[in-house]
Amino acid sequence: MVKVRFEHSEDGKSLILTAKGHSEQADIGHDIVCSSVSILTYTIAQVVKTMHDQGKLKKKPTIRLESGDAVVVCKPNKAYFNEAYHAFCVVETGYNLLHHNYPRFVDLKKFGEA
């Protein structure tokens, strides 16, 4: 099972996505859940990289994209927080659809959930 978490940092100024584990929905190369997890995670990573390149983040983001272990953390400048949050929420919506359609393979914690 893939465990996906969307969170704010303790100070509320950073946005965090973590995705850990493997869905094991099908064999490697045929696992549509794993492919979906990958493209959603790579999408937010690219958005965060672009925001950094545009000078919209306070510091360089943390991006780790490894098999079964992904982390994307960004700390936007105050003026761009809503832009970054919106991007994370769009990806969160994709993960919510994936969780809804494949609940045995994706465990999701959305922003604001305990």
Topology of domain 2-109, per CATH? Answer: Alpha-Beta Plaits (3.30.70)
Question: Residues 93-110: pLDDT tens digits?
Answer: 999 999 999 999 999 999
Domain boundaries defined on the chain = 2-109
Predicted confidence (pLDDT) per residue in 42-93, tens digit: 999 999 999 999 999 999 999 999 989 999 999 999 999 999 999 999 999 9
Record the tokens describing residue 23, joined without a space. Answer: 């869905």
> pTM for this one?
0.93
| Cα distance between residue 93 and residue 55, in whole Å | 26
